[in-house]
Structure 1
């Protein structure tokens, strides 16, 4: 009897051994095939002659391929430097190398835009210096790359703003952007880990953030308009601080005119330096044309009434008002740059704290049309909408003023909360947020029936959270205002399946955006189709991924472990995920309408926890925490040259 029991055991062991050999061989072959395909995308081919199908990279019986670095039999790094390479860096192929941690293509001839690096979310180091890359880098180019430590993009032809997603990288050690054409202000890097920073030889301007004041002055040299420690002091006394920011942000388009008129009485020296006749900048400012009457209208102080054209228009009567001068004098700081432009936090003398958003993509809109739409937005009253307080109109750009919300955005709480020392959002909080968003969308659909997509730009970074973690939607109702050529590139609704396929948006397009947001809230992952670079990509990677997992595995494979799932809440999570998928239906006819979505969401409840449930929650949380801690320790032990 004993012999008969041992026989199947030996058979099982033998087959298991064969299975392991097959899996390892398949894995090695897969990496080999991936690298050979990647080689084919590069020129010249003879630069990588050692890459061939007769050997396997990282094999114990073969020397490593040139530039391929291995660890535990897997490809961990690619160092293809100074090889005269050009062509297409196929990030989709590199993403198949699941153990890849470092890429270096320095000192080659690659050109065009920055590759879509966020598809390589596990990278620790990126070295692309000394090439010919060019163009603006999307603000979210590094979103979700929470392990990234080193970013070297020096000596290229990059232009535009420094991407603000860099400030969300919690482990950033080195950032090299020198000798490019970056302009605008330096974002406020708060990472304590950052020990090397270089933006010299660019076209940056404005004050250097205090968080970077300890860096060597050589890190900022060659930027003539930068000021503050360790460079020369900013002259804060001569021009109000918010005005400095506005001048820098608009490259003096607005600033000169405002300084001349507002500071006429207090700063005559500036006025005497200005030309007697209005300059082109002053004409573009709209200050004069807003008060043209054909008569000489001077007040007792000698200032013309044209100065009154530089004023805020309030859309709410229930707010303490302030004038433009008060706003310009307020102490201010830049909050960052988004899809539409820059945002500033301004603290007024009366204690009010405002957020001023600057828009430059509205210059095709007439003043009366703009004013009428602002009035409509100003009449909206809902606890889950961040209310518009006031606006400033100028043909070339517009300023919108909102109340400041302390708690930051949903995106921050979902993706970078650990770096900021904040707890993760649990399931009840996430459900509360989803319900608030649903109610506010339904309200906007009722109040703005003439808008095809009343929100139009719904995403996690446009959902703020107040002290009670109630959601407050921002950047809503802007489709009629944004220039269409700009809207197609930056607004979420224009990335929907119906627009990509048929060039149209519908009443259900906001529902599609809401569905993606629900998936992001439940999975803790960025919606891939919104983040991916380029146009015309119709595949919805977030939905495809969720649909590829059977519902029985959603709890283990799909849901964000940090929600603290409980046995009684899993059923409700499953229901919400199905709602999200129904919202993301590619066929508009089959997609749920908003009222149906809201009705189904309102049916979801938070289940009360029993003692058994509390134990299960604590156990699951501890398990998830241990896993993350072990994973972090393992990652940190890797060599990441």
Structure 2
């Protein structure tokens, strides 16, 4: 009995020590995640203050943090649009070796993509769109990656061939960057979403990607289905130095020259006829303008002559006709003379206005009138 009890006690002690060891290891791992997140928050400036504090539990209080069900590790980091700017320093988020989801979209992060973060073996979903990342896409992407979104950044270089190894990849978004070079012919059986538009890619669409719509490739220098067909320009063969083609002689040279002369004559006749019509129209317009000007001048002189000569005619008629040889005086006027007295009076010009000339006349009785 004592032997059995001693064995049971030894088993219980071993199990208890194993439980304590595992429990302390879990706590140690969560502490390492907490330290990495606090270092990231202290190093990278951000516009909106995070409520990350060592005094509060990571898995239940920190914003943007998701942990495993038992609360032992950090598996998701969601910080979209919190005003993060600057570079992601090494040995911060790269220490979250249980991280599965990384979402830092719609911030102002810059510099190269963090290779230590994008090489985490547990990483499955990466959302880094709408930032200012530059440089090349790291080739050390984990095989477990399911979705990669790097749109609207300033990434350069070629699409890494290491994406061929991402057999679990269902979505690849690289649009609106500055990627160059051809599109590799990947064989990704689970890929359902692809967007490589608005880069500087060239060449043709590989056969494995021709099932995607044309919107996945627009804004590049590429061709082929589902875009326009590529133009194949075959080089013209160089002529043999010994075999020259025989010169082509027209069947009827006279007929050809007659055709050429006829076309030239037609062109000359057309040009001459157009010039003649234009010249006649010009003469007609000038003659009309001249006639109109002459009629206007005659009318003006007639009007002026009417103003200056009509009084003479009136004066002559009034001298000849006794019925009209009278002046009409306004009521209350004491003068009494006629038109003949005015014609005999000495007169001088006072001035000329728009209605005629003004005269100063002195009658025989010494009366002065205007």
| Normalised TM-score (structure 1) | 0.35
**Alignment equivalent of 1:184, drawn from 158, 165, 181:** 181
Asked if 1:163 corresponds to 2:160, the answer is: yes
Structure 2 Cα separation of the partners of residues 203 and 160 of structure 1: 10
Structure 1 Cα separation of the partners of residues 80 and 198 of structure 2: 23
Q: What is the match of residue 203 of structure 1?
A: 200
**Alignment equivalent of 1:227, drawn from 182, 206, 223:** 223
Tell me the CA shift for residue 98 of structure 1. Answer: 2.1
Q: What is the match of residue 25 of structure 1?
A: 27
* Structure 2 counterparts to residues 534-545 of structure 1, below 5 A: none
When residues 122 and 301 of structure 1 are mapped into structure 2, their CA distance, relative to the original with a 3 A threshold, is farther
1:337-375 superposed Cα distances (whole Å, 9 cap, x missing partner): xxxxxxxxxxxxxxxxxxxxxxxxxxxxxxxxxxxxxxx
| Unaligned runs of at least 5 residues, structure 1 | 240-261, 267-297, 303-641
Cα-Cα RMSD = 2.6
Structure 2 Cα separation of the partners of residues 87 and 130 of structure 1: 14
Instruction: Look up the SS of the partner of 2:212 in the other structure.
Output: coil
Q: What is the match of residue 170 of structure 2?
A: 173
Q: What is the match of residue 103 of structure 2?
A: 104
Tell me the CA shift for residue 114 of structure 1. Answer: 2.2
Q: What is the match of residue 515 of structure 1?
A: none
1:179-232 superposed Cα distances (whole Å, 9 cap, x missing partner): 111222111121111110001111222211111111011111222x21111111
Structure 2 Cα separation of the partners of residues 154 and 54 of structure 1: 37
The structure with the largest alpha-carbon Rg is 2
Q: What is the match of residue 115 of structure 1?
A: 114
Instruction: Work out whether residues 91 and 120 of structure 1, in 8 Å CA contact, stay in contact via their aligned partners in 2.
Output: no
Instruction: Work out whether residues 42 and 89 of structure 1, in 8 Å CA contact, stay in contact via their aligned partners in 2.
Output: yes
Structure 2 Cα separation of the partners of residues 301 and 187 of structure 1: 46
When residues 15 and 168 of structure 1 are mapped into structure 2, their CA distance, relative to the original with a 3 A threshold, is closer
Structure 1 Cα separation of the partners of residues 12 and 159 of structure 2: 62
- Count, aligned residues: 239
Tell me the CA shift for residue 17 of structure 1. Answer: 4.2
* Structure 2 counterparts to residues 440-479 of structure 1, below 5 A: none
Instruction: Look up the SS of the partner of 1:133 in the other structure.
Output: strand
Q: What is the match of residue 51 of structure 1?
A: 52
| Unaligned runs of at least 5 residues, structure 2 | 245-370
Instruction: Look up the SS of the partner of 1:27 in the other structure.
Output: helix
Instruction: Work out whether residues 143 and 168 of structure 1, in 8 Å CA contact, stay in contact via their aligned partners in 2.
Output: no
* Structure 2 counterparts to residues 62-141 of structure 1, below 5 A: 63-72=60-69, 73=71, 74-116=73-115, 117-137=117-137, 141=138
Structure 1 Cα separation of the partners of residues 61 and 128 of structure 2: 22
Q: What is the match of residue 311 of structure 2?
A: none
Instruction: Work out whether residues 32 and 56 of structure 1, in 8 Å CA contact, stay in contact via their aligned partners in 2.
Output: no
Structure 2 Cα separation of the partners of residues 207 and 123 of structure 1: 31
When residues 300 and 43 of structure 1 are mapped into structure 2, their CA distance, relative to the original with a 3 A threshold, is farther
Instruction: Work out whether residues 99 and 122 of structure 2, in 8 Å CA contact, stay in contact via their aligned partners in 1.
Output: yes
Structure 1 Cα separation of the partners of residues 191 and 18 of structure 2: 47
Structure 2 Cα separation of the partners of residues 301 and 124 of structure 1: 68
Instruction: Work out whether residues 42 and 87 of structure 1, in 8 Å CA contact, stay in contact via their aligned partners in 2.
Output: yes
Instruction: Look up the SS of the partner of 1:26 in the other structure.
Output: helix
Tell me the CA shift for residue 34 of structure 1. Answer: 1.7
Structure 2 Cα separation of the partners of residues 180 and 12 of structure 1: 58
1:391-420 superposed Cα distances (whole Å, 9 cap, x missing partner): xxxxxxxxxxxxxxxxxxxxxxxxxxxxxx
Structure 2 Cα separation of the partners of residues 93 and 25 of structure 1: 19
Tell me the CA shift for residue 8 of structure 1. Answer: 4.7
Structure 1 Cα separation of the partners of residues 78 and 196 of structure 2: 24
When residues 13 and 161 of structure 1 are mapped into structure 2, their CA distance, relative to the original with a 3 A threshold, is closer
Instruction: Look up the SS of the partner of 2:208 in the other structure.
Output: helix
Tell me the CA shift for residue 81 of structure 1. Answer: 0.8
Q: What is the match of residue 35 of structure 1?
A: 37
When residues 180 and 13 of structure 1 are mapped into structure 2, their CA distance, relative to the original with a 3 A threshold, is closer
* Structure 2 counterparts to residues 362-511 of structure 1, below 5 A: none
When residues 122 and 4 of structure 1 are mapped into structure 2, their CA distance, relative to the original with a 3 A threshold, is closer
Q: What is the match of residue 193 of structure 1?
A: 190
Instruction: Work out whether residues 41 and 87 of structure 1, in 8 Å CA contact, stay in contact via their aligned partners in 2.
Output: no
Q: What is the match of residue 268 of structure 2?
A: none
When residues 8 and 64 of structure 1 are mapped into structure 2, their CA distance, relative to the original with a 3 A threshold, is same
Q: What is the match of residue 336 of structure 1?
A: none
* Structure 2 counterparts to residues 610-625 of structure 1, below 5 A: none
Instruction: Look up the SS of the partner of 2:41 in the other structure.
Output: helix
When residues 7 and 123 of structure 1 are mapped into structure 2, their CA distance, relative to the original with a 3 A threshold, is closer
Tell me the CA shift for residue 10 of structure 1. Answer: 4.8
Instruction: Work out whether residues 87 and 112 of structure 2, in 8 Å CA contact, stay in contact via their aligned partners in 1.
Output: no
Instruction: Work out whether residues 41 and 88 of structure 1, in 8 Å CA contact, stay in contact via their aligned partners in 2.
Output: no
Instruction: Work out whether residues 77 and 103 of structure 2, in 8 Å CA contact, stay in contact via their aligned partners in 1.
Output: yes
Q: What is the match of residue 598 of structure 1?
A: none
Instruction: Work out whether residues 104 and 127 of structure 2, in 8 Å CA contact, stay in contact via their aligned partners in 1.
Output: yes
Structure 1 Cα separation of the partners of residues 23 and 122 of structure 2: 27
Instruction: Look up the SS of the partner of 1:232 in the other structure.
Output: coil
When residues 299 and 84 of structure 1 are mapped into structure 2, their CA distance, relative to the original with a 3 A threshold, is farther
When residues 227 and 15 of structure 1 are mapped into structure 2, their CA distance, relative to the original with a 3 A threshold, is closer
